[in-house]
Structure 1
Amino acid sequence: MKLFVGIDVSSEKLDTCFLDSEDQILLETSLPNNVVGASKIKEHIIQFTENIHYERIIVGMEATSVYSFHPSTFLAEDAELKSLGIEVAVINPKAIHRFKGLFEEDKTDKIDAYRIADFLRFGRFNTSLIKEEKYMALQRLTRSRYQLIGQLTEMKQHFLENLYYECNTLTKEIDTSIFGATMMDLLTDSMTLEDIANMSLEDLAAILQEKGRGRFSNPQKLAKSLSKAIRDSYRLGKVMQDSVDVVLASYAMMIKTIKKQIKELDKAIQQLLEILPESKSLLSIPGVGPVYAAGIIAEIGQIERFENEAKVAKYAGLYWKRKQSGNFESERTTITKTGNHYLRYYLIEAANSVMRNEPVYREYYLKKYHEVPKHQHKRALVLTARKFVRMVDVLLRNHQLYAPERSV
């Protein structure tokens, strides 16, 4: 006899169904999503085991963002439940949704909890290890950094849009970054563009050298390009000019703030990486730095959660469904992209960097690049990322450092 506990998790409730292997509902209850509710589920499990010896006890719930984290961790790490051999499965919601679609019935939390327990009863799922706290802590940092990078990109785009109103030829004329500290300070300073345009090239070059702390190799050339860009641009009316100045100053302040926060996150990520021994394995790969290594480790967690490298690739969405019928085998298949998009992002970006540093991966990328006439770069890069997964899996599973392949 087996015991299956299906939990429909929401921000406030834990709707729970206790089901045995003979499809008999032992108990249905709704509990609060807090320590009290999770403790009550634990009590019910222990009570059921007092009367019947269950050869297997499985608790399952959907991976509902942050809501499933606390109950799954609580039940998986409880000492009394561990002694009973409890298994906790956090299941992909799409799998549960497809299973529910087989039945013509209403959609309620009570029914959902029963169907989760029923899904567990069929045994078509994998009980993966719950991530340890250090990996979850790293994941909070890396995902927050990922989101801040997205916000920073958006802020820079808005800044450039508004800058075009003021000086539409600036980005074409100068050969340095608009978002460097010197240029941002100059464009949002108390001086107007007219003041800069009317300034002598010697004075402007001196200001650039002062603000840039002597980092510009040719400040005179930059001053000339900047002055020319301002002179060649359209002029705004005073009302429009004042509005654009306010907007540019606001975006400049937000960009500066986000950059500062990213630096703080980088420090915290670096400190946490130092206590994770597997980080040395990934950092030994040419082209993989702390950001990519932290992102990959945070999303994978313990590599033992996955049976093999194919499961890691599928979890990341680097997976192509096979299409076969009779004697027909399709050669054109699309990538699923249904996995962990954070892990997929870090694997693809890391593979792109490794490809530029490792001849073997560069050769593989070029081979795949020239196989098709369309979408060459995207296809070749994704296939290179799939190859990269194999290396990541081997290094993490064997706790070894990277050694480049020897040419024969």
Structure 2
Amino acid sequence: MGLKKYTNINNIQGKKGSQFSSQLRGINLERVLIVAIDAAKFYQKALLCNYYGDVLERPFFFGVNQDGLNLLCSKIEEARMEIQAERIFIGVESTAHYYEDIVYELGKRGYGVTIINPATTYEERASALNWSKTDDLDLYAIAHALIQNKGMENKLPEGAYRKLMKLTRARRSEVQKRALVRIQIRTLMDHIWRDYQGFVEIENNKPKKKLIFSDFWGKSSLFFMEHFPHPSSLIDLGEERVWEISKENKLRIKETHIQTLLYVARKSIIKSTEVVSAELLLLRLAIKDLKRLDENVGLLEKEIEKELLQTDGRLLLTVPGIGVVTAAEFYSELGDISHFDNAGQLIKKAGTNPIIIQSGGTQGFYGRISKQGNKHLRFMVYTVGKSLAQHNKDLRPYYERLKERGKHARKAFIALGNKFIKIAFSMLKNRKPYESKQPDYRIFTEVKKKLLYTKMNTYLNIALAA
């Protein structure tokens, strides 16, 4: 019986394994050059060996500049000539953002670079403790991951994907900073005026919490925190003057709210301004930071919306539960889907594919997710799953069934996010909007309510033009 022809299907690593094996088949493996690069902020290090792990160039340092890259390339070419290399595999761990310039510059010089997930090198590093010297453990782990074809991808995001990725990640960072500043402001107000965030009244021997402002971060609340954070300053002004100030600054605050504000100020325990002088200064600085961060987030969201509408990612806005920022972040982290044959490959890219645990001849079962992928995309899978479970009537039943089967909420969110990857893959591949089974669903209405800076007719013109 003859051997079957090798195909993408029968390789144990699927398409990825087939591509790798096709590059190696029929080649003397001693003529395969492996280049492992350990990227860092200042000190980059490289190791050159053949496929069997025989060291051709001992670990050396190089800089990410013209001289350093010239040195790296000259070492690669020397090793190529020494072993008459027929294939070169270069790998670098995706450490923070330090690896990006190396991948980009080597690409310009004609070298393909495989990006390796830190989780993969972590596992390789642990196994390498048994057989390698510890001085250059990271380089050995990267080289071994390359030899075992455990790389993640070979290209950095480009064009609209790169721009949206930078903008959405920057926005997430600013939102996180804003959250910390808001916690700081709440803590400071507890020291300056405890009841400002809410006060308690006893009714029928039962405590009931009441708010002065329904939105603590609204315009009116922030105005009084910025200009009159201490209760004594409002008491000195009196109701009539506070009312005049609110009208002058167009706060649109009701007279009853002003009366409540003054009532709480008079009833509160008041520390002197001298005692809380440090807190008052820190509060002014924190509010200044909050305004700056609010402005930054607004500018980023405006640019994100503008960029998203120029891409097929705008189709994701037709999905209930997916807003502009979420759509942009999810779309950019997915990357160009033309590089993938099916949605399962994208799930593996995220590292949200469950690991099958099996021993001997027993039937396997699904364990934890692999985490062998893009951590940003993995976070978005979770975020999207959580949002859809709350706001999408078509997909919520799937989440509820998982919960009924005993799934933890987090695992159910990941599973729903994986399901949406399949839906999004089909939408983007076929360039079709979301199809809802809800009788009250209207694409026009769904998209319109999400656009903050773009008129609906502009969105339709862009969509029709595409």
Q: 2:102 aligns with which of 48, 71, 75?
A: 71
1:280 alignment partner in structure 2: 314
Deviation at 1:312, TM superposition (A): 2.7
- CA change 1:290–1:56 in 2 (3 A) is same
Q: Is the 8 A contact 2:357 2:364 kept in 1?
A: yes
Q: Any idea what the Cα deviations from partners look like across 1:59-92, whole Å, max 9, x if unmatched? A: 11111112211111222243xx2xxxx5321101
Letter of the structure 1 residue corresponding to residue 430 of structure 2: N
Q: Equivalent pairs: percent with the same residue?
A: 22
Q: 2:225 aligns with which of 162, 187, 195?
A: 187
TM-score by length of 1: 0.83
Structure 2 unaligned residues grouped into runs of 5+: 1-27, 199-210, 440-466
Letter of the structure 2 residue corresponding to residue 108 of structure 1: D
Whole-angstrom CA distance in 1 between matches of 2:298 and 2:402: 37
Match status 1:108 vs 2:139: no
Of 191-200 and 134-143, deviating more is 191-200
Whole-angstrom CA distance in 1 between matches of 2:339 and 2:182: 39
2:297 alignment partner in structure 1: 262
Structure 1 unaligned residues grouped into runs of 5+: none
TM-score by length of 2: 0.74
> The residue matched to 1:239 in structure 2 has which SS?
coil
Whole-angstrom CA distance in 1 between matches of 2:355 and 2:394: 27
- CA change 1:43–1:338 in 2 (3 A) is closer
1:220 alignment partner in structure 2: 255
Match status 1:211 vs 2:249: yes
> The residue matched to 2:217 in structure 1 has which SS?
coil
Match status 1:353 vs 2:391: no
Letter of the structure 2 residue corresponding to residue 281 of structure 1: L
- Matched ranges for 1:2-401 at <5 A: 2-28=32-58, 29-46=60-77, 54-78=85-109, 81=110, 86-100=111-125, 101-102=127-128, 103-109=130-136, 112-172=138-198, 173-189=211-227, 192-197=230-235, 200-201=238-239, 203-214=241-252, 216=253, 219-275=254-310, 277-306=311-340, 308-326=342-360, 333-335=367-369, 339-372=373-406, 377-401=409-433
Q: Is the 8 A contact 1:395 1:402 kept in 2?
A: yes
Q: Is the 8 A contact 1:87 1:127 kept in 2?
A: no
- CA change 1:237–1:126 in 2 (3 A) is closer
Deviation at 1:302, TM superposition (A): 1.9
Letter of the structure 1 residue corresponding to residue 183 of structure 2: Q
Whole-angstrom CA distance in 2 between matches of 1:48 and 1:337: 34
> The residue matched to 1:182 in structure 2 has which SS?
helix
Q: Any idea what the Cα deviations from partners look like across 1:334-373, whole Å, max 9, x if unmatched? A: 455565443333333333433444321122233333443x
The structure, 1 or 2, with the larger RCO (C-alpha pairs under 8 Å, 6+ apart) is 1
Of 261-270 and 204-213, deviating more is 204-213
Once superposed, what is the RMSD of the aligned Cα atoms? 3.1
Letter of the structure 2 residue corresponding to residue 11 of structure 1: K
Q: Is the 8 A contact 1:205 1:222 kept in 2?
A: no
Whole-angstrom CA distance in 2 between matches of 1:49 and 1:290: 49
Whole-angstrom CA distance in 1 between matches of 2:379 and 2:35: 34
User: What count of residue pairs does the alignment treat as equivalent?
Assistant: 394
Letter of the structure 2 residue corresponding to residue 383 of structure 1: A
Q: Is the 8 A contact 1:76 1:130 kept in 2?
A: no
Deviation at 1:156, TM superposition (A): 0.7
Q: Is the 8 A contact 2:100 2:156 kept in 1?
A: no
Q: Is the 8 A contact 2:231 2:266 kept in 1?
A: no
Letter of the structure 2 residue corresponding to residue 396 of structure 1: L
Whole-angstrom CA distance in 1 between matches of 2:428 and 2:377: 15
